[in-house]
Amino acid sequence: MSQVRAWVPGVPGIAEAFHARFTDHVYPPHAHDTWTLMVVDDGVIRYDLHRHEHGAPTGTVLLLPPHIAHTGRAATAHGFRKRVLYLESDVVDTTLAGRVVDEPTLLDDLLHRRLDQLHRSLDEPGGALEAESRLALITDRIARRFGMPAPSGPSGLAGELRDLLDARLVEGITLREAGSLLHADPAHLVRSFGREFGLPPHRYLVGRRVEAARRRLLDGEPIADVATAVGFHDQSHLHRHFTRMLGVTPRKFAAGP
Question: Tens of pLDDT along 122-176?
Answer: 988 778 889 999 999 999 999 999 987 766 555 688 899 999 999 999 999 999 9
pLDDT score at 17: 95
> Is pLDDT at 236 greater than 70 in this prediction?
yes
Q: Is 60 inside a domain boundary?
A: yes
Domain count, the chain: 3
pLDDT score at 198: 85
Pair 69, 8 in one domain:
yes
Please state the rounded mean pLDDT for residues 190-195. Answer: 89
pLDDT band with cut points at 50, 70 and 90 for residue 92 = very high
The pTM of the full predicted model, rounded to 2 decimals, is 0.81
> Is pLDDT at 90 greater than 70 in this prediction?
yes
Pair 49, 89 in one domain:
yes
pLDDT score at 155: 60
pLDDT score at 127: 80
Q: Is 124 inside a domain boundary?
A: no
> Is pLDDT at 243 greater than 60 in this prediction?
yes
pLDDT cut 70: percent of the chain above it:
96
Answer yes or no: are the C-beta atoms of 163 and 197 closer than 8 Å. no
The CATH number covering residue 233 comes to 1.10.10.60
pLDDT score at 150: 62
pLDDT band with cut points at 50, 70 and 90 for residue 181 = very high
pLDDT 10s digits, 28-55: 989 899 999 999 999 999 999 988 999 9
pLDDT score at 256: 66
pLDDT 10s digits, 64-80: 999 998 999 999 999 99
Q: Is 83 inside a domain boundary?
A: yes
> Domain span at residue 173?
151-198
The pLDDT mean for the chain works out to 91
Q: Is 232 inside a domain boundary?
A: yes
Of the residues 108, 143, 167, the one at which a domain ends: 108
Pair 6, 82 in one domain:
yes
Q: Three-state SS string across 119-186, please?
A: HHHHCCCCCHHHHHHHHHHHHHHHHHHCCCCCCCCCCCHHHHHHHHHHHCCCCCCCHHHHHHHHCCCH
pLDDT cut 90: percent of the chain above it:
72
The CATH number covering residue 33 comes to 2.60.120.10
pLDDT score at 154: 53
Q: How far apart are CA 214 and CA 22, in angstroms?
A: 47
What backbone torsions phi and psi does residue 245 show, to the nearest 5 degrees? -80, -40
Q: Is 46 inside a domain boundary?
A: yes
Higher pLDDT, 154 or 183: 183
b/e code 105-134 from CB counts within 10 Å (16+ = b): bbebeebbebbeebbebbeeebbbbbbbbb
Please state the rounded mean pLDDT for residues 85-93. Answer: 94
Q: Is 211 inside a domain boundary?
A: yes
pLDDT score at 49: 92
Q: How far apart are CA 234 and CA 238, in angstroms?
A: 7
Q: Is 145 inside a domain boundary?
A: no
